[in-house]
A and B are shown apart, each in its own frame.
Chain A
Amino acid sequence: MEAFGLLMHGFAVLMTWKIISLMVVGLVLGIFVGVLPGLGGPNGVAILLPLTFTMDPTSAIVMLSCIYWGALFGGAITSILFNIPGEAWSVATTFDGYPMAQQGKAAEALTAAFTSSFIGSLVAVMLITFLAPIISSFALKFGPPEFFAVYLLTFCSFVGLGREAKHKTVISMALGLLIAGIGMDTVSGNLRMTFGSDNLLRGINFLVAVIGLFGISEILLTMEERLALRGHAAKISLRTVLKVWMDLPKYWVTLLRSSVIGCWLGITPGGAIAASFMGYNLAKRFSKDSESFGKGRIEGVFAPETAAHASGTAALLPMLALGIPGSGTAAILLGGLMVWGLNPGPLLFVEHKDFVWGLIASMYLGNVVGLVIVLTTVPIFASILRVPFAAVAPMIVVSCAIGAYAIQNAMFDIWLMLGFGVVGYVFKKIGIPLAPFTLALVLGSRAEDAFRLAMIGSGGSVGVFWSNGLVGTITTLAITLLFWPVIDKVFSGVGRMLKPAAQTS
């Protein structure tokens, strides 16, 4: 129960007016970016990150993580009322949420979405509370080879388990790692890949790249779409809320199943998007009445929302415990930690107890406050969509530019941001995933350092990655995951040969 005591300490850290008000500001901004088309969790966090540079780390991370929770809540509003998923992970929510709104049950659908989001996060936060300290104390024994093996595992699982074309994931990752290496080499002090440019001496800042990749490119992509929309307005009354909550126990299997799926996919880099679809599909498959899904069934809202939120929250577990983000947004938060001079990884739990437990406590508190805010203010946020995109777009561009400039006070970074905007636009359109790119950018130099230290330690023998049981297991697992699609094919091929042909057809 040590974790519990530390958690209480975390709550004590949070209970100041300053932090509570930052929390509310963060949540409101987050819901705002979640509702607006063309902005989402990672963009919101990336754009608003520079605002927090002058704050102390605890206030800053509380505000940023609240932006993230807000964005997760906000995505559901547009899915249900307008049939427009504000976020990719809310696509599955539209399947049953929008039909419910059309039948005049918008308030129920929204309450269901917000409540299940809340439950999903709560389960994931509890997992973090009890699992993260254990994992991090275990990871304290890690040396450079183990760390490199864990990084390798992360990268390989992206390639092996991702749904995109394998070579595109590899391109995205290698490019990210290379860009992270530009500038001064941290070990030898030599210059690398600068091609004589003074501006590249500093290297390419992770946040500048992220602001371009997610902020600017998203604006370009949004402009391609038809931006007209029609939707229902909704007001949630206390009676509706209570009615939905009374029904909750009936759906405990769905909620639990989705929470588990979400937590699992959040920790492994499957992500919230995969989780929401999987939650929905499994709920449909296990339902006695699967025909009624897609026609406005409340379970069809519960299942994807719980899974998406559980996964979005669980993605922070590997970030806190190992310094490896489980999602794009977590990677950006990790970039923030480094800006504030905190070194993400297992030592965080030892050296910065206040910070870590403050953050974990803020996850509980942020979700409770967030639930209250969204339930009471839905009509206001829905009407934000009346603001024409022609007014929103230039403001986002300006915010991006201010953010990019503020990081290093360099005009060059604004141009870099524009360049990354174009790269992000093209990559998204031809299906090169951006999440591995972000992850590689943020982990690049640490992965390289771990690799070099491990190799120096072993005198240049790759055998160091199999030198003991722990590191050997992780490395082998990484390589297995890398070739998982091939292995899977071979196994099912063998299985088919062993079975009679009639059964497989």
Chain B
Amino acid sequence: MSNTDLEIIVEDPTAPEDDSPSVVSTRTIEIIVSLVLLALAVALGFDNWRTGIAWDATGPQPGYFPFYLSVILGGASLYGLIATFFARSGGTDTFVTRAQLRRVALVFVPTALFCLATQFLGIYVASFVLIAGFMRMVGKIALWKSLLTAFVFTAIMFVTFDVAFDVIMPKGPIESALGR
């Protein structure tokens, strides 16, 4: 069949290298997560104990159900912590390599900045900047393509949510200057 000769090829020039060194092992992260969850269980359990975990005339007090859940959460995290400590094998698995971490940061940092920008500039301006900036800086896509894509996408979002469906989005100084 001739139609299978056509191939779709997409390259990924900034892909993480396979031999990149490990930053942190899965074991370390598992221990950290267990500790965080344990602390959370203690904090929530204490708060519920303060709210009341006993019985009164109307039945169980509000803290009753969540208190025992905190106990379960704490117990399971403790078990996880101990199991990870005593596990002999699998301790050296890589959680993330340096190259992978770089790529993840490449999305995560702009996303966090975008959330911050949304708070001050409104969601539409922030998303225009995020899309255009990300395509240009990370994707190395031509500037005009990046700007055009960002503009079209933001405009579609604006028309869909603000105009057609009346869902109010956070807005900033630019929108208010334009009278929206």
Q: Which A residues are within 8 Å of any B CB, using their own CB?
A: 50-51, 53-54, 81-82, 101, 104-107, 165, 167-168, 170-171, 174-175, 177-178, 181, 185, 187-188, 190-193, 195, 216, 219-220, 223-224, 226-235, 382-383, 385-386, 388-391, 393-395, 397-399, 401-402, 405-406, 409, 411, 414-415, 418, 421-422, 425-427, 429-430, 432, 448, 451-452, 455-456, 460
Per-residue CB contact flags for chain B residues 154-180 toward chain A (1 = under 8 Å, else 0) read 100100110001111110000000000
Determine which of B6, B55, B110, B169 lies in contact with A394 in the assembled complex, contact meaning CB atoms within 8 Å: B110
- The reply to whether B1 and A451 contact each other, CB–CB distance below 8 Å, is no
Task: Check if A229 sits within 8 Å of B130, measured CB to CB.
Answer: no
Apart from A178-B70, A220-B108, A405-B123: 18 A-B pairs, beta carbons within 8 A: A171-B37, A171-B76, A181-B65, A188-B58, A223-B106, A224-B103, A228-B11, A232-B8, A234-B3, A388-B139, A398-B153, A398-B154, A402-B161, A406-B169, A409-B168, A427-B33, A432-B33, A460-B60
A193 touches B44 (CB 8 A): yes
Contact A429 B51 (CB under 8 A): no
Nearest CB of chain A from residue B128's CB, rounded to whole Å: 9
Q: Which of A167, A175, A226, A399 contacts B83 (CB 8 A)?
A: A167
Contact in complex: B103, A405 (CB < 8 Å): no
Q: Across the interface, which residues of B come within 8 angstroms of A51, CB to CB? A: 160, 165
Chain B positions 97 through 110: 1 when the CB is less than 8 Å from some CB of chain A, otherwise 0: 00010011011101
Tally B residues with Cβ within 8 Å of A: 79
Most B Cβ at <10 Å: residue of A82, A171, A227, A409: A171
How far apart are A190's CB and chain B's nearest CB, in angstroms? 4
Interface check B147, CB cutoff 8 A: no
Q: Which residues of B contact A226 (CB under 8 A)?
A: 12, 15-16
Task: Name the residue on B nearest A448 (C-beta).
Answer: B65
- Find out whether the CB atom of B47 lies under 8 angstroms from the CB atom of A193: yes
CA gap between A177 and B69 in the complex, in Å: 7
B16 near A414 with CB under 8 A, answer: no
Please tell me if the beta carbons of A398 and B127 are within 8 angstroms of each other in the complex: yes
Check if A405 sits within 8 Å of B69, measured CB to CB. no
In Å, the complex CA distance between A165 and B43 comes to: 25
In the bound complex, residues from chain A placing their C-beta under 8 Å from that of B149 are: 391
CA distance A193 to B130 in the complex (A): 35
Residue of A nearest to B97 (CB): A224
16 A-B residue pairs with Cβ-Cβ distance under 8 Å, sorted by A, are A178-B69, A188-B58, A195-B43, A195-B47, A223-B103, A224-B100, A224-B104, A226-B12, A388-B141, A395-B131, A397-B114, A401-B118, A415-B115, A418-B112, A426-B33, A456-B60
Set of chain B residues within 8 Å of A418, measured between Cβ atoms: 111-112, 115
Select one of A385, A397, A399 contacting B111, CB under 8 A: A397
B92 CB–A CB distance under 8 Å: no
Quick one: given A398-B127, A418-B115, are A411 and B170 in contact (CB under 8 Å)? yes
Q: For the complex, what is the distance from the CA of A277 to the CA of B149, rounded to whole Å? A: 40
A455 contacts which of B60, B111, B123 (Cβ < 8 Å)? B60
Query: Do B7 and A232 touch across chains, with their CB atoms under 8 A apart?
Result: yes
Q: Note all chain B residues with C-beta closer than 8 A to A415.
A: 115
Which 9 pairs across A and B sit closest by C-beta, in order of nearness? A390-B139, A456-B59, A228-B12, A174-B73, A233-B6, A226-B15, A398-B127, A227-B12, A170-B76
The chain A residue with its CB closest to the CB of B154 is A398
- Interfacial chain B residues near A398, Cβ < 8 Å: 114, 123, 127, 130-131, 153-154, 157
> Quick one: which of B29, B47, B161 contacts A429, CB cutoff 8 A?
B29
> Do A228 and B10 contact each other (CB < 8 Å), given the known contacts A188-B61, A448-B65?
yes
Q: Which of A394, A405, A426, A452 contacts B29 (CB 8 A)?
A: A426
B-chain residues with CB within 8 Å of residue A230 when the two chains form the complex: 7-10
A214 to B72 Cα, complex, angstroms: 25
Which residue of B is nearest A226, CB measured? B15
Is residue B79 contacting chain A, with contact meaning CB distance below 8 A?
yes
Residues of A contacting B1 in the complex (Cβ-Cβ under 8 angstroms): 104-105, 107
In B111-157, which residues have CB < 8 Å from any A CB? 111-112, 114-115, 118-119, 123, 127, 130-131, 134-135, 138-141, 149, 153-154, 157
Q: What is the bound-complex CA distance between A386 and B6, given in angstroms? A: 13
A447 to B55, CA, bound (A): 19
Which A residues touch B154, using CB under 8 A?
A: 398
Chain B stretch 36-81: residues in CB contact (< 8 A) with chain A: 37, 40, 43-44, 47-48, 51, 55, 58-66, 69-70, 72-73, 76-77, 79-80
Assembly CA distance A322 to B33 (angstroms): 34
Q: Is the CB of A386 within 8 A of B8?
A: yes
A181 close to B134 (CB less than 8 A): no
Q: Known: A107-B1, A394-B131, A426-B29. Contact between A386 and B65, CB under 8 A?
A: no
Q: Are A54 and B7 in contact (CB under 8 A)?
A: no
How far does the Cβ of B18 sit from chain A's closest Cβ, in whole Å? Answer: 8
Q: What is the bound-complex CA distance between A54 and B33, given in angstroms?
A: 39
With a cutoff of 8 Å between Cβ atoms, the chain B residues found around residue A229 in the complex are 8-10
Q: Are B7 and A188 in contact (CB under 8 A)?
A: no
Q: Once bound together, how far apart are the Cα atoms of A390 and B139, in whole Å?
A: 5
Residue of A nearest to B73 (CB): A174
Q: Please, which residues of chain A bring their CB within 8 A of the CB of B153?
A: 395, 398
Residues of A near B37 (CB, < 8 A) are: 171, 175
Is B35 at the interface (CB under 8 A from chain A)?
Answer: no
How far, in angstroms, from A415 to B112 measured CA to CA in the complex?
8
